[in-house]
Amino acid sequence: MFHSPSARQVARTPADLAPMPLYRPETISEALAALHESGGTIYAGGTDFFAGVRQGLSPKALIWVAAIAEMKGCTIDSNGLHMGALNTHDESVAAPELDAVPGLAEAWSKIATVRIRHQATLGGNLMARRERYELSILLTALGATARMVGPELQVDMPVQDLWQADLEKTPLLASITIPLDNAPMLAYERSMRPTFTQALCRRGQALRCVMATEWLQPWFKDAPLDADAGQMMSGLPADFHDPAVSRAHLVRAGSVFLKRQIARLEDLA
């Protein structure tokens, strides 16, 4: 016998969850109070949450944030384009404000499936902190910041810093802001997914290129508009490879894609 009779043959399922306290805050401050009181887990669209349950997540309480109106919608002001963390992928793509960043809605519309896009949120995509999810890649390219809030503190941090962020003091992602200075535009290449994806933002005379794989946190490089694609890609760190793809391949294929994407953005401009 390979397994003892008591060993589980399948992963945990939602049926293994114990009944737990449930909160349904309608404001950010209610959500923070509920988190503080219960030590619970934030629940938004739930599309990643249940993958977590199968991997062992067992929340003490649920903070179901879907009714927090101030975490929804898109607006534009002098600081940039603001997007609520509770926007679903569908809602984001349909928002006219996204036209302020040519290429963003098109790239975003490629994510996931019809059924998932209707339910999955921007906040959940980022806060699941899974390398294979793509909004971190797009938003890092666009130099976006995440507004993290806690009972006593509010911090605006670059999206790429979310990977390492300590969520003790600021557990809730309220919104994302993309600065609109120098007219950013985005090109995104995911045809090689899951091997790698590449996002490129052009902002005035500057480029930001992001490379990501299924297993690695996104890497980015800033360069002037006339930079050489091969040289940009050769900046990939020595340890940027995973079991599915070598660094040499990423540099080679990444350079080819990057040249194409620079041309694409030239056309858009």
33 contact, one of other proteins, ligand FAD, none, CB 5-8 Å limit per kind: other proteins
Tell the smallest beta-carbon distance from residue 107 to ligand FAD (Å). 11
Binding mask 106-145 for other proteins (x = CB under 8 A): -------xxxx-xx--------------------------
Q: What share of the chain is helix, strand, coil (3-state, %, to 5)?
A: 35, 25, 45
Residue 262 sits at φ, ψ, to 5 deg, of -60, -40
H or E stretch including 139? helix 135-141
Amino acid residing at 78: S
Structure-block tokens of residue 35: 């988190």
Contact 87, 93 (CB under 8 A): no
Sites for other proteins among residues 164-193 (CB under 8 A) = none
The DSSP secondary-structure symbol of 121 reads B
Contact 225, 202 (CB under 8 A): yes
127 contact, one of ligand FAD, other proteins, none, CB 5-8 Å limit per kind: ligand FAD
Task: Find, among 199, 154, 203, the residue nearest to 178 by Cα.
Answer: 203
Binding mask 236-265 for ligand FAD (x = CB under 6 A): ------------------------------
| 149 scored as a contact of ligand FAD (CB under 6 A) | no
Tell the smallest beta-carbon distance from residue 129 to ligand FAD (Å). 8
Contact 247, 254 (CB under 8 A): no
What is the length of the chain? 269
Q: Which is nearer to ligand FAD, 46 or 73 (CB)?
A: 46
Sites for ligand FAD among residues 95-124 (CB under 6 A) = 111-113, 116, 120-121, 123-124
Q: What is the DSSP string of 128-170?
A: TT-TT-SHHHHHHHTT-EEEEE-SS-EEEEEGGGGGT--TTT-
Chain positions contacting other proteins, by CB under 8 A: 13-15, 17-26, 30-31, 33-34, 43, 46-51, 53-54, 62, 64, 66, 113-116, 118-119
Chain positions contacting ligand FAD, by CB under 6 A: 41-49, 52, 85, 111-113, 116, 120-121, 123-125, 127-128, 133-135, 172-173
